[in-house]
Amino acid sequence: MRKKNGNYAKEMLKFIDASPTAYQAAENLAEILKAAGATELSEKQKWTLDPGRTYLVRRNDSALIAFRIPGESNCSMPCPERPEREGFRVFACHGDSPSFKIKENPEQGVRGSYVTLNTEAYGGMIRSTWLDRPLSVAGRVLVKKEDGVASLLVDLKQPMLLIPNLAIHMDRSVNDGKAFALNVDMVPLYASGQPCGSFLEEVANAAGIQKEEILGHDLYLYNAEKGVIWGRNGEFLSSSRLDDLECVFAGVSGFTAAEEGRRIAVFAMLDNEEVGSGTRQGAASTFLKDTLQRISMGLGDTNEEYLIRIADSFLLSADNGHALHPNHPEKNDPTNTPVLNGGLLLKFSANQKYTTDGFSAAFVKDLCSRAGVPCQFFFNRSDIPGGSTLGNISVSQVAIPSADIGLAELAMHSAYETAGAEDVAALVKVAKEFFE
């Protein structure tokens, strides 16, 4: 995984293009990790863990945790200054992005001439950016098998829908500011004619099954435009879902590139951050906690020895932050202004929207120094409340020191976001150093 910076950016865009939803992202991560030697475990079975091995486990098809256990030589090096049990190094990120989720019985007719799809918003997107773009559909379908219900990933891949804008002649005030109603302005056009159930037939065909076999589905719209590298010197890149698949890609790249360290390396892609993380596969769930406990039990630890490991652990919560905007520089903090291609972004919040404090900031600054990566600081402007992320939610389940990091981007939660092409490699280097 040692590549030039530009190659990291190109490979990340390929990863994002192949990961239209968290379900595909988790599947692609599993393939990357298995190619690097990881063995998949099931939460429904007992785990047998061996030193020097890498493992992964999935939950709900949309969240994944991978971990590497140090070999015996690294596990048992005696040193009076080190804890009895080495801890965990956790890199946590999320795989979901704002979108539109397709409802049951989605087809609806318009005056006998058009077929639109009934959807609801997932997460806080910039609604206007979804207009007049080629859209497709991906996610999963659930089908009945002899031994229960099985999940099949599905991606229609080609553009199938579009949310049309209203012509300026029909809305002369559109440039004066407009509130886009989800049930009126944001309804995707699917076909001409009348509803006939063809949409689920298309989904079934893509999944290689019959329409009647579909028992349930989790299907989302996504922007079908590919990611691009652009700018005078190719210094920028734009893509859907940079928040947070940029951190996902960089994290797993650092995880697979890292040499074995003393501590247990953990990479976690969680789900549903954009809607509060309050699901069984989100940061508010026990997924991370359960996995860390099972690792400890698999290594023969007592409960006290597990707590010793936790006390020696650290978590990096990786989620992108806002770059200096070229047209609205006044929106940024006056003295802490991260820029595209400025390296790692370390995020602070006095109200603990981000977990970084003095200790964890020092940890990350030293980490960046050792990785040879610039470290820039992000604060929201003091009168503008910012968004939250998965860091403070994760540590409410697993109480370990944590810092919130990420990369700078423009137009967060747009259907097409922008970042610095050099920054991907910077986060890979930091993740690699962290795991080592």
Q: How far apart are CA 153 and CA 271, in angstroms?
A: 16
147 confidence band (pLDDT: 50, 70, 90): confident
pLDDT of residue 388: 79
Give the pLDDT confidence of 104-134 residue by residue, as tens digits.
999 999 999 999 999 999 999 999 999 999 9
pLDDT of residue 130: 98
Q: How far apart are CA 404 and CA 278, in angstroms?
A: 19
Q: Average pLDDT of the chain?
A: 94
Name the superfamily (CATH) of residues 5-97+240-435: Zn peptidases (3.40.630.10)
Residues 6+ apart with CB under 8 A from 372: 429
pLDDT of residue 90: 98
Q: How far apart are CA 315 and CA 339, in angstroms?
A: 24
Give the pLDDT confidence of 288-337 residue by residue, as tens digits.
999 999 999 999 999 999 999 999 999 999 999 999 999 999 999 999 99
Give the pLDDT confidence of 39-88 residue by residue, as tens digits.
999 999 999 999 999 999 999 999 999 999 999 765 544 455 556 779 99
Q: What are the boundaries of each domain within the chain?
A: 5-97+240-435, 99-223
pLDDT of residue 2: 38
Torsion of CA 291, 293, 298, 300, to 10 degrees: 170
385 confidence band (pLDDT: 50, 70, 90): confident
pLDDT of residue 74: 59
pTM: 0.94
Q: How far apart are CA 421 and CA 348, in angstroms?
A: 24
Q: How far apart are CA 313 and CA 364, in angstroms?
A: 14
* CATH hierarchy code of domain 99-223: 2.30.250.10
Residue 410 contacts residue 345 (beta carbons within 8 Å): no
Rounded mean pLDDT of 399-417? Answer: 97
